[in-house]
Amino acid sequence: MRELSVLIGGQAGDGVNQAGMLVARLLARLGWRVFVDYDYPSLIRGGHNFSLIRAADRPVGVSRARIDWLLALDRATINRHAGRLRDPSRAVFDSDAGASGGLGIPLKAVAKEAGAPAIARNSILAGAFARSTGIAWDVLEKVFRAEVRHALDVNLALARRGYDLAEERERMEPPGGRPLPILTGNEACGLGLAAAGLDAYIAYPMTPSSGILHFMAQTGGNFGVTVIHPESEIAVICMALGFAYAGRRAAVGTSGGGFCLMTEGLSLSGMAEVPVVVVVGQRPGPSTGLPTYTAQTELRFVMSAGQGEFPRLVVAPGDAAEAHAMAAAALGIAWKCQVPAIILTDKAMGEGAYSLDAGPAAVPEPPLLWDGGGRYGRYRITDSGVSPLAFPGDPRATVKANSYEHDEDGITTEAPRVAAAMQEKRLRKSAILAAEARRIGGVGVYGDAAAETAVVCWGSNRWPCAEAGGNLGMRVVHVRVLEPLPVDEIRGALEGARRVICVENNATGQLAALLSARGAAADRTVLRYDGRQFLLEELEERLREAAQ
């Protein structure tokens, strides 16, 4: 496989993420398939930030430990990451910071000479990288004109200055693929929701799901989506339920701490049978934890959150393409079954950026609507458990939404027989949810499907496991739907395996425990719980050890 990895580093406020995306889009324009990972502390200024860009002639979704190019906006980046370079001469750095080796360019002096702010140094660095790798100036200029929103002329002039100050050290021949757009998992999730007919997106900013709020605030008007930032997560979930009661499809976004505050609203959704989609972006806890890093620690939480018993859908996409498709599916299923649906993401997938080669998301089928005949009962008992919907404003119907136990008309009751019948009605939706899980593909299999060693994973570990396991000749089973868990599909995917290894970003093996309880136990676990995603070489080594 032809590929290269680039690391760009500096302090918060240096525009490291913007520089990383410029380089990623530059490589994507040349036909490379790209994955971008961001590492940053919870600081507005200062601290060490870096972006890892991996480009290859086939799709990728995991970073490597070894890098081919190091682009440094400060000395700390050289000190921290120079040891990762395959070739020390492939460093491009700010010579004003006092580093040595590789290609030094006076970034600060050039920016000051142009009267540009310090953040514009990343444009100089991008220009120097393009020249160093033999990328034509006109390609870089097209990327700048497409991506730079402010002070384009100044940034172009600085990029040209960096281009002229550098020298070609390695010509990267393009792989020849067609250029693809690069989207984060959060952005793809927002587009999937919009494609499924989302009417309102409501959120209180909380890393790592904030990217959806920002993206929808910028683009929601193009899709007719109302975007609201209320005062708290409690207000968020209640407002979304109000939209849904009125017949408008709503989704919310949060992280574990915010979801804690939403659990009573989630229970209201379950009892009142008001559909809502909740995006839960995982990060390490407990409490504030590591707010800008990644984890897979909320699986048990989202599957059991809320008081009482009620069905729900939980999906965990593994990359931007799956986020796009599964977000649309989750919104459609929530309305088809009149249940809450949870999209479980994490920082690695939500903020990671991928080359996206996906067609339109499947348009969900319309929900079951009241035909207007006879007396309307909001909670009419049916064989499927799903009652026909009507909405306030229809003069023919009195539409109830009741958090108390109720009868078919929505009238509060404590009668034992009625309470039992309504509980059974709600739980009958589980059969439809299970069928929907099969329809949308609850399990993906990669690598050697007949290998005796199987790796099981979920969420963002789809790509690390698929590549590492594939390189080692293993089969990889990626679980996309976690509730209702597609046990038969998982067992079928594992049939014949003599050794099963479960890979997770948590300390307790939450999926492994769930599989064990359902009769599909893993023999070993490979866990990482320091807030960072697995790197390819690291995971390969740990899988080798676990397979022995």
Q: Which CATH number characterizes residue 92's domain?
A: 3.40.920.10
Q: Is residue 435 part of a domain?
A: no
Q: Is residue 400 part of a domain?
A: no
Is the pLDDT at 322 greater than 80? The verdict is: yes
Mean pLDDT to the nearest integer, 397-414: 96
CB of 11 within 8 A of CB of 74?
yes
How does pLDDT run across 9-26, given as a tens digit for each residue? 999 888 899 899 999 999
Phi and psi, residue 73, nearest 5°: -90, -10
Mean pLDDT to the nearest integer, 424-439: 96
Residue written as token pair 């792989």: 175
What torsion do the CA atoms of 516, 520, 523, 529 make, to the nearest 10 degrees? -60
Q: Which CATH number characterizes residue 489's domain?
A: 3.40.50.920
d(C-alpha 232, C-alpha 206), whole Å: 11
CB of 543 within 8 A of CB of 536?
no
Rounded to the nearest 5 degrees, what angle is found at the Cα of 338, between the Cα atoms of 334 and 339? 65
Q: Is residue 191 part of a domain?
A: yes
Neighbours of 452 (CB within 10 A): 13
Q: Is residue 433 part of a domain?
A: no
CB of 437 within 8 A of CB of 484?
yes
**Pair (143, 259) in one structural domain:** no
How many structural domains comprise the chain? Answer: 3
SS3 content of the chain, % helix, strand, coil (to 5): 40, 20, 40
Is the pLDDT at 324 greater than 80? The verdict is: yes
- Cβ-Cβ contacts under 8 Å for 287 (sequence gap 6 or more): 257
| Predicted confidence band of residue 285 (pLDDT cuts 50, 70, 90) | very high
CB of 406 within 8 A of CB of 385?
no
Q: Is residue 359 part of a domain?
A: no
Q: Which CATH number characterizes residue 340's domain?
A: 3.40.50.970
**Pair (130, 261) in one structural domain:** no
Tokens of 89: 């001469």
| HSE, side-chain direction, 13 A CA sphere, residue 486 | 28
**Pair (155, 23) in one structural domain:** yes
How does pLDDT run across 83-116, given as a tens digit for each residue? 999 998 899 988 877 666 788 999 999 999 999 9
What does the pLDDT read at residue 1? 61
**Pair (27, 154) in one structural domain:** yes
Going 170 to 175 to 178 to 181, the CA torsion angle's sign is negative
Is the pLDDT at 126 greater than 80? The verdict is: yes
Residue written as token pair 């909320």: 298
Domain's final residue, options 165, 200, 235? 165
Is the pLDDT at 40 greater than 70? The verdict is: yes
| Predicted confidence band of residue 171 (pLDDT cuts 50, 70, 90) | confident
Distances (CA, A) of 267 to 200, 260, 276, 304, 312: 20, 12, 11, 10, 10
pTM of the predicted protein model? 0.96
Query: Between 101 and 288, whose confidence is greater?
Result: 288
Q: Is residue 209 part of a domain?
A: yes
CB of 318 within 8 A of CB of 459?
yes
Q: Is residue 395 part of a domain?
A: no
How does pLDDT run across 176-227, given as a tens digit for each residue? 889 999 999 999 999 999 999 999 999 999 999 999 999 999 999 999 999 9
Query: Between 475 and 12, whose confidence is greater?
Result: 475
Strands 33-39 and 3-12: unpaired
Mean pLDDT to the nearest integer, 358-371: 87
Q: Over the chain, what is the mean pLDDT?
A: 95
How does pLDDT run across 297-317, given as a tens digit for each residue? 999 999 999 999 999 999 999
CB of 30 within 8 A of CB of 174?
yes
374: left (phi over 0), alpha (psi -120 to 50) or beta: left
Neighbours of 13 (CB within 10 A): 14
**Pair (150, 259) in one structural domain:** no
**Pair (241, 158) in one structural domain:** no
d(C-alpha 162, C-alpha 122), whole Å: 10
SS3 annotation, 126-139 = HHHHHHHCCCCHHH
**Pair (138, 188) in one structural domain:** no
Distance separating the N- and C-terminal Cα atoms of the chain? 27
Provide the percentage of residues in the chain whose pLDDT is more than 90.
89
CB of 305 within 8 A of CB of 341?
no
**Pair (236, 338) in one structural domain:** yes
Which letter, b or e, does each residue of 120-155 get, where b requires 16 or more Cβ atoms within 10 Å of its Cβ? Answer: bbbbbbbbbbbbbbebeeeebbebbeeebeeeeebb
Q: Is residue 250 part of a domain?
A: yes
**Pair (228, 147) in one structural domain:** no
- Cβ-Cβ contacts under 8 Å for 434 (sequence gap 6 or more): 484, 486
**Pair (148, 220) in one structural domain:** no
Strands 226-228 and 200-203: parallel
Domain's final residue, options 117, 135, 165? 165
Is the pLDDT at 241 greater than 90? The verdict is: yes
**Alpha helix segments (H runs only) across 288-379:** 299-304, 320-337, 347-351
Is the pLDDT at 365 greater than 90? The verdict is: no
Going 464 to 65 to 4 to 12, the CA torsion angle's sign is positive
Domain's final residue, options 335, 353, 371? 353
**Pair (14, 131) in one structural domain:** yes
DSSP reduced 3-state for 256:
helix
Rounded to the nearest 5 degrees, what angle is found at the Cα of 233, between the Cα atoms of 230 and 234? 95
Write out the residue range of the structural domain in which residue 502 sits.
442-547
**Pair (450, 505) in one structural domain:** yes
Is the pLDDT at 43 greater than 90? The verdict is: no
DSSP string covering 3-29: EEEEEEEEEETS-HHHHHHHHHHHHHH
